[in-house]
A and B are shown apart, each in its own frame.
Chain A
Amino acid sequence: MEGWYRVAEIVSLAEAIAAAVHDGDTVAMEGFTHLIPHAAGHEVIRQRRRDLTLIRMTPDIIYDQLIGAGCARKLVFSWAGNPGVGSLHRFRDAVERGWPAPLELEEHSHAGMANRYAAGASGLPFAILRGYRGTSLASQTAGVAEVTCPFTGERLTAVSALRPDVAVIHAQRADRRGHVQYWGITGVQKEVVLAATRSIVTVEEIVDELDPRPGAVVLPSWAVSYVAAAPRGAHPSYALGYSARDNDFYVAWDAISRDRTAFAAWLDEHVYGAGNGVAPAAESGPPRTAPLPRTPGEA
């Protein structure tokens, strides 16, 4: 099956983005407040991907940056704000004034988005929930329909499956074979990886062995396409056990993002100026492991 690998390739972040994310792709970067793949988002900006359809339940700062940088054509989402702070100004500028480009919206609720990913991961065309009834969303957005239960006759809501070209998540660790482990608030990351054709997992560190952690999710190597070390790659989000959420940055983002010039200057300094396709955080991390040999049948 296209996109399924016998083992994940362990590569640099720049290599992973170059290999997996193409202009025009549908890309889902997930992480529910915790483990947001910011370093990967910056790499997509640096590699100047265009016309992306971006999917994310909470397109917070990471997508504000991608939208403001001109990478996005369309956004599929359920809550676009700066958590606990206020508006996403780059997102609003795109929606309200078409800057830097108009942004097409496909808008859902959290429950709807979570179920759409679950349907994608399950190989189903749609999911069923009690939701959307009586709201204006139902009539304004694609992918919502009423269905009747074949057993009880009850009217329920169907939402269409999400099947991204690429899923991008951040995790605490992977081992040298590419098995991925993450814990704490685990969000919708398992669903998005399994729903997508290709996947990139950035990790805080690559270790010899994954020891058990309470509540941890392990994604086996053969369910992941690329693993890349990106220490502190979630910043200003966090990786439980490795870093704390940088709440001050979320607050500071309000002023940075409010003004187009201030935003462009920030982007120049912290993303474009941050080197030759290597996320700044990765440079001080542990040495990269050699990639495993490619296996036959890879895309």
Chain B
Amino acid sequence: MTYTADEMMTVTAARALRDGMTCLVGIGLPSEAANLARATHAPNLVLIYESGAIGAKPGVLPLSIGDGILAETADSVVSVPEIFNYWLQPGRIDVGFLGAAQLDKFGNINTTVIGSDYADPRVRLPGAGGAPEIAAACREVTVVLRQSLRAFVTRVDFVTSVGFGDGPGSRQRLGLTGTGPRRIITDLGVLEPDQDTSEFVLTGIYPGTSVADVRDRTGWDLQVAADLSVLPPPSESELAALRGLLATMPANSRIAPAEGAAR
């Protein structure tokens, strides 16, 4: 069965979620992956949307984080101040699933502006949404985005959400309670932080992808793990489930996925 790089990315992201986890889901690629996980190997995955839906069980992919299907299928619906203050902030959520427009070697995320002058940006992006506190307070974070030179930069133009900050020790100095980004999943492979340097290194590639492909689309001098693995392709059941979910979306609804950053 043939599959696209995007499908491989979403399936790989879904596999990173374990059954029974609590997962705070942003819209776009993270929502696709989390819903795929729930439809396949993780039926008890608890999907939490920042709109206040806790334990949502949508049968179709929502276009927004506040679609009616989320409230109607949730175990509990709480207000927006409550979702951030009572559920996210104290560390009750296992994994935060985020997108990014721009990301650096320490896993810091920019979804605010492209260009060095905040007051006069080259591109104005949507902004923070819930991402800064998700990145700070979830026990761990998974970032999902397509790999490109534009997106994978040495230093982000604007730190919207903190990964490992300036490197080892940054999160502790800042008092951030979660452990930070655990993996970056792209359409080429998977990057994970080096234990000593906190720098993201390539630990897995997809079948048919080469290390050179990944390095060509990374803006920093990407290091490669000694035990680099080739990740298994999507199974037929994973692909069928994913395509079934995507078929429920309105046509042309993914116009600018890179911009659908942190919602």
What is the interface of chain A, defined by CB distance below 8 A to chain B? 32-34, 57-58, 77-81, 83-88, 91-92, 95-96, 107-111, 114-115, 117-118, 129-137, 140, 154-155, 184-188, 190-191, 215, 238, 240, 244-245, 247-248, 250-251, 254
Asked if A135 meets B132 with Cβ closer than 8 Å, knowing A188-B81, A245-B64, the reply is: yes
Q: Nearest Cβ in chain B — how far from A215, in angstroms?
A: 6
For this complex, 13 residue pairs linking A to B, each with C-beta atoms less than 8 Å apart, are A78-B127, A84-B260, A87-B256, A110-B128, A111-B88, A129-B89, A130-B136, A130-B175, A133-B162, A135-B159, A137-B128, A140-B118, A187-B79
Of the residues B71, B85, B259, contact of A184 by C-beta under 8 Å: B71
Of the residues A92, A118, A135, contact of B160 by C-beta under 8 Å: A135
CA distance A132 to B86 in the complex (A): 17
Do residues A184 and B77 form an inter-chain contact, with CB atoms below 8 A?
yes
Q: Which residues of A contact B259 (CB under 8 A)?
A: 81, 86-87
Of the residues A77, A85, A130, contact of B253 by C-beta under 8 Å: A85
Do residues B84 and A114 form an inter-chain contact, with CB atoms below 8 A?
yes
Asked if A185 meets B28 with Cβ closer than 8 Å, knowing A81-B126, A109-B132, A254-B255, the reply is: no
* B interface SS class: loop
From residue 84 to 133 of chain B, which have CB atoms closer than 8 A to chain A? 84-85, 88-89, 112, 118, 121-133
CA distance A250 to B170 in the complex (A): 40
Do residues A187 and B52 form an inter-chain contact, with CB atoms below 8 A?
yes
Q: Which residues of A contact B175 (CB under 8 A)?
A: 130, 133, 154-155
CA distance A37 to B146 in the complex (A): 35
Q: Which residues of A contact B28 (CB under 8 A)?
A: 84
Is B51 on the interface with A (CB-CB < 8 A)?
yes
Asked if A184 meets B68 with Cβ closer than 8 Å, knowing A81-B126, A135-B160, A140-B118, the reply is: yes
* A interface SS class: loop
Do residues B27 and A83 form an inter-chain contact, with CB atoms below 8 A?
yes
Q: Nearest Cβ in chain A — how far from B127, in angstroms?
A: 5
Is B50 on the interface with A (CB-CB < 8 A)?
yes
CA distance A115 to B130 in the complex (A): 12
Asked if A244 meets B68 with Cβ closer than 8 Å, knowing A96-B121, A115-B85, A254-B255, the reply is: yes
CA distance A134 to B167 in the complex (A): 12
Q: Nearest Cβ in chain A — how far from B167, in angstroms?
A: 12
Do residues A110 and B50 form an inter-chain contact, with CB atoms below 8 A?
yes
Do residues B127 and A131 form an inter-chain contact, with CB atoms below 8 A?
no
Of the residues B79, B128, B170, contact of A134 by C-beta under 8 Å: B170
Q: Nearest Cβ in chain B — how far from A99, in angstroms?
A: 13
Is B161 on the interface with A (CB-CB < 8 A)?
yes
Besides A33-B51, A80-B126, A251-B252, 12 more A-B contacts (Cβ < 8 Å) are A32-B80, A34-B51, A34-B71, A85-B63, A95-B124, A129-B133, A130-B177, A131-B136, A133-B136, A137-B128, A247-B253, A250-B64
Q: Which residues of A contact B213 (CB under 8 A)?
A: none
Q: Which residues of A contact B89 (CB under 8 A)?
A: 111, 129-130
Do residues B126 and A79 form an inter-chain contact, with CB atoms below 8 A?
yes
Do residues A111 and B132 form an inter-chain contact, with CB atoms below 8 A?
yes
Nearest residue (CB) in B for A117 is B81
Is B144 on the interface with A (CB-CB < 8 A)?
no
Is B189 on the interface with A (CB-CB < 8 A)?
no
Do residues A245 and B63 form an inter-chain contact, with CB atoms below 8 A?
yes
CA distance A81 to B81 in the complex (A): 20
Do residues B255 and A251 form an inter-chain contact, with CB atoms below 8 A?
yes
